[in-house]
Amino acid sequence: MLHDGGARCDAAAMDDETPLAALRRAMPGLPPRLREAARYVVRHDYDAATRSMRELAQAAGTNPATFTRLAQALGYAGWEPLRDTLIEARRSGPETPFSGRLRQAAARPPGAAAPAGELPAEMLGSDLGALAQLDPTPILAAATALHEAPRIWVAGFRSCRAVAQLLHYQLRLFRPDSVRLVGGAGPEDLDLGDFRGGDAVVLIGFVPYSRSIAVAARMAHAAGCTILALADRADARMAAGAHHLLLFEAEGTPGFFPSLTGALSIAQALAATAFSLGGEAALARLRETEARLAALSAYMPDQDLTP
């Protein structure tokens, strides 16, 4: 509950709720500036957990002292203890990686709309915010590594399989002979055993990481491959030692399942940039692919779709 004029939250009341739930509960009683800072943390909890207080304040358009006061208003000694709880809250237990996320939405301000009524807007808003935070800078270097590699392997399992399949499909449109999906045409172990030095291996994963992606990472390192990791955290074990790290936000969504929107966007940007680097040769292969699709009547003309 709030006390001291509504500006401080009883820390004991937060024992059974996540820090984001505590922030939502405290917001109505906070001064305007602290309320805006709390709202920013709730919407960008990935940044709050991974950026320095100075960087966070700059992104939020305020000063570092505001975040210190916000943490103190919630019963913490300062920003770092609150940041530590945000980091810990992102570490879902392996036994409940998805249902455990529902606790984050357990506490809502009085009079708030039903969670289901708010969810579509909240999820779309969360994904828009996550996309705005993506860093395009490392994509060019990663795409260059793909362009220069004699062979490309794409590895993504379980829910990350969709991202891997999309990247594999787009790359094969202009590099049909040299791009492979790990486990796409047979047992995974046969593909992993075919890794060679100089190959580029794209690893895709987020918490909880599959055993298969960890094995793929180990085999890629052992073979001397150039490794590109699309991951939700810089300290992800699957990304350790990667030559190129492309980070996306997965946990920020209020839904029961982490978001793949950022990973899909990075995959598409990676494929498009690799194609651009391929120049006339890539364009010629793409046109060959299009000609084959046309000969096979793979797509229907628009007029044939009219009712």
What is the C-alpha to C-alpha distance for residues 230 and 80, in angstroms, rounded to an integer?
28
Q: Tell me the pLDDT tens digit for each residue of 244-303.
A: 999 998 877 777 788 899 999 999 999 999 999 999 999 999 999 989 888 888 676 765
pLDDT, position 262: 92
Q: What is the pLDDT of residue 4?
A: 36
Report the 10 Å Cβ neighbour count for 177.
8
What is the model's pLDDT at position 220? Answer: 95
Task: Kindly tell me if the per-residue pLDDT of 165 is higher than 90.
Answer: yes
**What is the chain's alpha carbon radius of gyration, rounded to the nearest angstrom?**
23
Region 158-169 average pLDDT: 95
pLDDT of residue 5: 35
- Convert the pLDDT of each residue in 16-63 to its tens digit: 467 877 888 888 889 999 999 998 888 777 778 777 888 888 888 899
Handedness of CA 6, 71, 55, 50 (dihedral sign): negative
Q: Which residue has the higher pLDDT, 252 or 200?
A: 200
